Amino acid sequence: MAKKVEMLKILKIIVILLVFSLCFYYFQGAKELFSLSDIVSPYFSLGFLIISALLLGMVANELGLPSLTGYLIAGMVFGPQVFNFVTDNDIKTLELINSIALSFIAISAGGELKIESLKKNSRAIATITIVQSVLILLGVLAIFYPLIKFGGLVKGLSLSSLLFFCLFLGIVGVANSPASTIAIINEYKSKGTFTDIVLGITMIKDVVVLLLFSLTFAFARNSISGVELSGGFFLSIFSHILISGIAGIIFGFLMIIFFKYVAKEVSIFVVLASFISYKFASIVGLENMFMCMVAGFVVQNFSKQGSVLIDAIEGSHLPVYVIFFSIAGAGLDFSSLKSYWIVVLLFVSARFLFIYFTTYFGSVFSKTINSVKKYAWTAFITNAGLTLSIIILIEQEFKDFGSILKAIVISVIAINQIIGPILFKIGIEKSGEAAKLNQ
């Protein structure tokens, strides 16, 4: 019987790959035959990317991997790094769609957080978040400052630039990817204390990283660029986050009104709301992801419409995840590994160890459940989204090390995005909270 099941699995994979090959052949031929314009080409490529990502997601599932891994691989294979079917220009054109997808995922993440679970697990969430944030930041600084200074891994930096280079690297070490975390949780329908704690830490750490970055960025500008610090500047940092949160609260209550009094085509509305939030945040200059997380949290906890939101998200999350992670995969770049592979591999390895031990010790201090002690670290490996945003700002501001840091971090993100979802899938499985795996 086991052999028959295994043969059927292999046959299914072969059939999927044959369909995939035919799709690629005809899409490639059509693209060359019609010489598509720059306006049409990105969306034609996106259509192929969606189909190929869905098929490779099925293959990944058959191999016991998360669908997300298949989506990322589809993007990597057909992106600029390999076949270049989806070009760099296509990726830039598709940024709007990708940003809308990210807003949708952020609303979903907020909608999964419940006040009862946050109160119940507040000690574990707070302790692990603090231990991770402090020790990872200081640990990266303690290791990489002398290593780069005396080892010559990155050359030509002043002592001041080197200090802030390592501090920014430490902040990247603290950062996670809420999008990847919520995607894996949704795919495996994970529910329970382990899931609640992991999700709470992931969401709160996004705010912590934003604050750490803003403060470090301000001091770096003062030290390196000579920009004067003032009380008004620090006030603007906190008010920026506060206003984003207030906007999220208002946005959440507007969503509640729609769910309560209209309640038609709810899934389409959530996608539309994601677009509106992105455009509003872009125009006003707010933190869109934080705003959307707050909005989802408000709907879930301050109305009876939380189940309506979650049902709408579950009804439309598949195409959103396919689009977001396949485009994300196309944007992954391993080219800088050639120049900085030692730093990249050292950082990935050190971060991996720091995450494991800080999560374990934070769990021990907070006296939380054993599954969190043993497996929660698997949720914190991926780091994209906010990390990419802050790296772009660093590159623009600090010409002496910004481009070097960006090159290193892009490779780190690429590696972690491949490894992280697989590890988190295993973590959820070991915790016993993955409904999909228990069916």
Q: In degrees, to the nearest 5, what angle opens at C-alpha 185 toward C-alphas 268 and 375? A: 165
Tokens 């729609």, located at residue = 258
3-state SS class at 434: strand
Mean pLDDT across the chain: 84
Predicted local distance difference test score (pLDDT) of residue 438: 46
- Prediction pTM value: 0.86
> What is the enclosing helix (H) or strand (E) of 297?
helix 288-301
* Pair (16, 141) in one structural domain: no
Predicted local distance difference test score (pLDDT) of residue 88: 84
* Pair (238, 375) in one structural domain: yes
* Pair (308, 245) in one structural domain: yes
* Pair (368, 389) in one structural domain: yes
* Pair (397, 295) in one structural domain: yes
Q: Is residue 439 predicted with pLDDT exceeding 50?
A: no
Q: Is residue 109 predicted with pLDDT exceeding 90?
A: no
Q: Is residue 364 predicted with pLDDT exceeding 90?
A: yes
Q: Is residue 12 predicted with pLDDT exceeding 70?
A: no
Region of residue 65 (left: phi > 0; alpha: psi -120 to 50; beta: else): beta
Give the Cα separation of 328 and 309 in Å (integer).
25
* Pair (161, 301) in one structural domain: yes
Q: Is residue 263 predicted with pLDDT exceeding 80?
A: no
Closest CA to 408 of 165, 214, 115: 165
Residues across the chain? 439
**Sign of the four-CA dihedral 12, 15, 19, 21:** positive
Q: Is residue 39 predicted with pLDDT exceeding 60?
A: no
3-state SS class at 101: helix
- Contacts of residue 358, Cβ cutoff 8 Å, sequence gap at least 6: 128, 131, 132, 135, 136
* Pair (53, 163) in one structural domain: no
* 171 burial level (CB within 10 Å; 0-12, 13-18, 19+): buried
Q: Is residue 23 predicted with pLDDT exceeding 70?
A: no
* Pair (161, 124) in one structural domain: yes
Per residue in 266-323, pLDDT tens? 888 888 888 999 889 888 888 888 899 999 999 999 988 888 888 888 777 888 888 8
Instruction: Give me the residues paired with residue 177 across strands.
Output: none
* Pair (75, 112) in one structural domain: no
Q: Which of 76, 93, 110 is the last residue of a domain?
A: 93
Region of residue 412 (left: phi > 0; alpha: psi -120 to 50; beta: else): alpha
User: Residue 125 is part of a domain; what is its CATH number?
Assistant: 1.20.1530.20
Average pLDDT of the segment spanning 248-263: 89
Distance of CA 199 to the CA centre of its chain: 13
Q: Is residue 32 predicted with pLDDT exceeding 60?
A: no
Per residue in 185-224, pLDDT tens? 988 888 899 999 999 999 899 889 888 988 888 888 887 7
- Contacts of residue 22, Cβ cutoff 8 Å, sequence gap at least 6: none
Per residue in 44-78, pLDDT tens? 778 888 888 888 888 888 888 898 888 988 888 88
How many domains does the chain contain in total? Answer: 2
Domain hosting 29: range is 2-93
3-state SS class at 22: helix
Average pLDDT of the segment spanning 357-377: 94
* Pair (301, 421) in one structural domain: yes
* Pair (130, 82) in one structural domain: no
* Pair (30, 78) in one structural domain: yes
Residue 27 tokens read as 């899409």
Q: Is residue 3 predicted with pLDDT exceeding 70?
A: no
Q: Is residue 264 predicted with pLDDT exceeding 90?
A: no
Q: Which of 93, 117, 136 is the last residue of a domain?
A: 93
Q: Which of 93, 109, 129 is the last residue of a domain?
A: 93
Q: Which of 150-154, 230-234, 249-253 has the highest mean pLDDT?
A: 249-253
